[in-house]
Copies of this chain bind each other. A is one copy, B any other.
C-alpha cells in the first residue's frame, strides 16, 4: 500500500531530473537555474537562454515539494465540499477555481461526504500539506476540527452559511430568511394549506430554511399542515416519491415546499405525470435557483443564490488576506425569490 521509493539504479526507469543535474548540464550553479526558473534576481540573457534550453531538453519539472519546504509556503488553497454530486457545490467550486485562476494559487479539492469525522480527517490531511488557505462549506464542525482550523495560522473561510462567530471568515446566505421568503410568497399568492417534503440532507442548511419557513407562516397565523421527512440525502427521486406520499396523506394541501430545487423538480415531475395541475391544484417551491429548474416545462419558483459568487468571494477573501488586506469577517450574499410557473 505504501509507495516504495524507486531506487536510482540503472535497471529502473530514471527519476525525474533535479535542479542539480540541470545545473551541471548547463554548467552553472543550482542557484542560477533556480533564478531563471522563478524569474527572480538577475541573470544574463545568455545564461538564461542556455539554462532554459537545458531545462526544456531534459524535460525538467521543478520539485515543488522541495521548494515548498524551503520557503515554508505553497500556492495551494485547500477547499472542502460535502459532495460533488450536488450541483450547488460544483458551482461554488467553479467560482473558487475561476477566481484562483486569476492568481498564482491552485485549489486542492476534498470531499467530506457530509460527514464530520471525514471532514476532520480531511482537514488534517490537507493541512499536513501546508496550504496557504482553507475553505470549507459549512459551519458545523467537530470541536477538534474547529480547533485545528483555528490553530492552522492560515486564512480560513466557511462558506454557504452565515454566523456571527466564524472560525475566521464566512461567506454565506441567511437560510432562515430564504425559508421565510418562500413562505411569504406562498401566502401572498393565496396559498393557505401548506406542506413540506424534507430530505434530511445532513448539512443542516435545509433545516434552517424550514425553520424560517415555518416561523414565517406562524407569524401569519398559519402552520405547516403536513410534513414528510426522509432521513437521506436530497434527490429528485425522493422528491417525486415524497410529494406523492404527502398528497396522499394530506389531500387538501395546496402548496408544497421542498428543501431544494432538485427535490422540487422531482415533485413537479410527479404532478405532471399524475395530472395534477400546477399551480392551480398544487403550488411548488424550491431553493437554489438551479438552471434546470428554469428549463422545466413549468419553470420552478425558487429562491436564487449566487453560488458561483460565493465561491469567487471566498477565494478572493483568502487571497486578499494573504496579500495583507483585512477583509470583513462576516459576508452575507443576497438571495432573491424567483417566481416561476409553479406558484
Partner of A273, one of B68, B71, B297: B297
Q: Is the CB of B69 within 8 A of A69?
A: yes
Beyond A3-B75, A5-B71, A297-B272, is A90–B84 a contact (Cβ under 8 Å)?
yes
Beyond A90-B90, A273-B297, is A61–B148 a contact (Cβ under 8 Å)?
yes
Q: Is the CB of A106 within 8 A of B132?
A: no
Contact residues of A between 114 and 150, Cβ < 8 Å to B: 124-125, 127-130, 132, 147-148
Q: Is the CB of B323 within 8 A of A1?
A: yes
User: What chain B residues lie within 8 Å of A272 (beta carbons)?
Assistant: 297
User: What chain B residues lie within 8 Å of A62 (beta carbons)?
Assistant: 128
Q: Is the CB of B295 within 8 A of A237?
A: yes
Q: Is the CB of B16 within 8 A of A153?
A: yes
Instruction: Report the Cα distance A59→B103, complex, angstroms.
Output: 31
Q: Is the CB of B94 within 8 A of A84?
A: yes
CB closest residue in chain B, given A1: B104
Beyond A65-B129, A84-B84, A103-B1, is A236–B295 a contact (Cβ under 8 Å)?
yes
User: Is A13 part of the binding interface, using a Cβ–Cβ cutoff of 8 Å?
Assistant: yes
User: What chain B residues lie within 8 Å of A4 (beta carbons)?
Assistant: 73, 322, 324
User: What chain B residues lie within 8 Å of A73 (beta carbons)?
Assistant: 2-5
Determine how close the nearest CB of chain B comes to the CB of A210; give it in whole angstroms: 24
User: Is A269 part of the binding interface, using a Cβ–Cβ cutoff of 8 Å?
Assistant: yes
| Total copies of this chain within the assembly | 2
Q: How large is the interface on A (under 10, 10 to 19, 20 to 34, 35 or more residues)?
A: 35 or more
Instruction: Report the Cα distance A47→B87, complex, angstroms.
Output: 48
User: Is A19 part of the binding interface, using a Cβ–Cβ cutoff of 8 Å?
Assistant: no
User: What chain B residues lie within 8 Å of A2 (beta carbons)?
Assistant: 73, 75, 104
CB closest residue in chain B, given A324: B4
Instruction: Report the Cα distance A75→B5, complex, angstroms.
Output: 12
User: Is A63 part of the binding interface, using a Cβ–Cβ cutoff of 8 Å?
Assistant: yes
Which of A64, A73, A129 has its CB near the most chain B CB atoms (within 10 A)? Answer: A129
Q: Is the CB of A296 within 8 A of B322?
A: no
Q: Is the CB of A129 within 8 A of B13?
A: no
User: Is A74 part of the binding interface, using a Cβ–Cβ cutoff of 8 Å?
Assistant: yes
Beyond A3-B74, A73-B4, A73-B5, is A128–B90 a contact (Cβ under 8 Å)?
no
Determine how close the nearest CB of chain B comes to the CB of A75; give it in whole angstroms: 7
Beyond A109-B109, A272-B297, is A151–B65 a contact (Cβ under 8 Å)?
no
Q: Is the CB of B295 within 8 A of A269?
A: yes
Determine how close the nearest CB of chain B comes to the CB of A270; give it in whole angstroms: 9
Q: Is the CB of B3 within 8 A of A64?
A: no
Determine how close the nearest CB of chain B comes to the CB of A101; give it in whole angstroms: 9
Partner of A65, one of B3, B65, B269, B297: B65
Contact residues of A between 43 and 93, Cβ < 8 Å to B: 59, 61-66, 68-69, 71-75, 84-85, 87, 90-91, 93
Instruction: Report the Cα distance A74→B4, complex, angstroms.
Output: 9
**15 A-B contacts (beta carbon < 8 Å):** A2-B75, A2-B104, A3-B73, A3-B75, A5-B71, A6-B153, A16-B152, A62-B128, A65-B129, A85-B90, A85-B91, A85-B94, A236-B295, A237-B291, A237-B295
